[in-house]
Amino acid sequence: MPLWFVQNKAPAAACVSHWLSIGLRLSRAALVSMVVLTMAAGFLLASPRGLSLEHLVWAILGTASTAAGASTLNQWWEVQLDRLMRRTAARPLPAQQLRTCYAFWGAAGACACGLCVLACGTNVLAAALGACAAAIYVLVYTPLKKRSTLCTLVGAVCGAIPPLLGWAAAGGSLEAGAWLLAVILYVWQIPHVLALTWLHRADLRRAGFRILPLLDSTGRSTSQFCLLYSLALVPLSLCLPLTQLASWQSTAGIAAASVVMVVFSFRLYRQRDDASARALFRYSLAYLPLIFVLRVAL
């Protein structure tokens, strides 16, 4: 093996690893994964008989690229605010690991490529839904966080679109089942996001965000919202058989999982402490995979 290859292999590998790490942190890989998973759930539920693996692959690639670009644009917009918070100060842009102009154009390119992939690899409706989600997230939700507590309700719209996108990518149209999935995902996000914001409220106040837990000194309104939206998951779960999305057996399991969400929210309502918020947040993370497993297994 040539000596120059041995000498340069390690630095080259380290450079690739470095830029890959920056890309994953800018795109918030965990968030992108959640978007892709909920999109794939919509796709699979829309195609119980004729699953098109090719369309699914294109949908995953297009959704992931669009979501990664939107997440990066969000960090580009909020770079000055991220510098004020401990949990975000080490992100690539506030830590000056990458120039903001490079992040902007890279993110814009990722969004454009993702939407083109969706349009050409699946259909125009899926691409339009992807564009709508990205636009709301970057142009509406991001600036609204500094202005109104309604930001949480607006941001949840972005999270409710992926199953619609997946359904559209599979069949080219939207049916009642797609809208029910979207509503369930929308409602689930409210206690999930509010519990997370509760846990980081001291840090988030440094950036001057106007998110409900940051302005609710007693926690009463925040816990009420968590309980109200968790309660709404129960009747929504019972509607699944009406749209042929689940059998009555799996619906019973999903409804039970929703009741557990209510229990955790009620605990937060009664105690209003970090331990209760953390328990609710952790269960909310498990809720979506749990109901999908119940739907498949029963």
In percent, the amount of the chain with pLDDT more than 70 equals 94
8 against 223, higher pLDDT: 223
DSSP-assigned letter for residue 243:
G
Count the Cβ atoms, other than its own, within 10 Å of residue 195: 27
Domain encompassing residue 224: 175-298
Dihedral angle sign, alpha carbons of residues 251, 254, 255, 256: positive
At position 137, the amino acid (one-letter code) is: Y
What is the per-residue pLDDT across 158-188, written as a single tens digit (0 to 9) for each? 999 999 999 999 988 899 999 999 999 999 9
Is 191 a residue whose pLDDT tops 90? Answer: yes
- Does 282 lie in the same domain as 136? no
If asked whether residues 295 and 205 sit together in one domain, one would say: yes
Q: What is the mean pLDDT of residues 29-55?
A: 87
Q: What is the pLDDT of residues 44-89, one digit of tens each?
A: 988 866 678 899 999 999 999 999 999 999 999 999 998 999 888 8
Q: What is the reported pTM?
A: 0.90
Together in a domain, 133 and 39 = yes
141/236 Cα distance (integer angstroms): 25
The neighbour count for residue 105, using CB atoms within 10 Å, is: 12
Report the distance separating Cα 164 and Cα 133, nearest Å.
11
Domain membership of residue 271 (yes or no) is yes
Nearest Cα residue to 152 out of 181, 182, 190: 190
Helix (H) or strand (E) holding 80: helix 79-82
**In this structure, are residues 158 and 133 in contact, taking their beta carbons and an 8 Å threshold?**
yes
Dist CA 131 CA 106 (whole Å):
17
Q: 3 lies in a domain?
A: no
CA distances from 117 to 19, 63, 126, 279 (A): 24, 9, 10, 39
| Dist CA 40 CA 44 (whole Å) | 6
Task: Supply the CATH number for residue 91's domain.
Answer: 1.10.357.140
- Residue 267 and residue 231 in one domain: yes
Element housing 271 (H / E): helix 248-271
Range with top average pLDDT, 28-32, 125-129, 242-246, 248-252: 125-129
Which range has highest mean pLDDT (40-54, 92-106, 183-197)?
183-197
Give CB contacts under 8 A, 24+ apart, made by 197-200. Answer: 197/152, 198/222, 198/274, 198/277, 199/274, 199/277, 199/278, 199/281, 200/87
Q: Which of 65-69, 187-191, 194-198, 246-250 bottoms out in mean pLDDT, i.e. has the lowest?
A: 246-250
Q: Report how far residue 180's alpha carbon sits from residue 75's, in angstroms, rounded to the nearest whole number.
A: 31
Same domain, 25 and 139: yes
Residues 162 and 231 in one domain: no
Asked whether the beta carbons of 194 and 212 are under 8 A apart, the reply is: yes
pLDDT at 99 over 80: yes
pLDDT of residue 1: 43
Q: 168 and 241: one domain?
A: no
Residue 5, in any domain of the structure: no
Residues 113 and 46 placed together within one structural domain of the fold: yes
Domain total in the chain: 2
Instruction: Say which residue the tokens 């998951």 belong to.
Output: 233
Residues 161 and 34 in one domain: yes
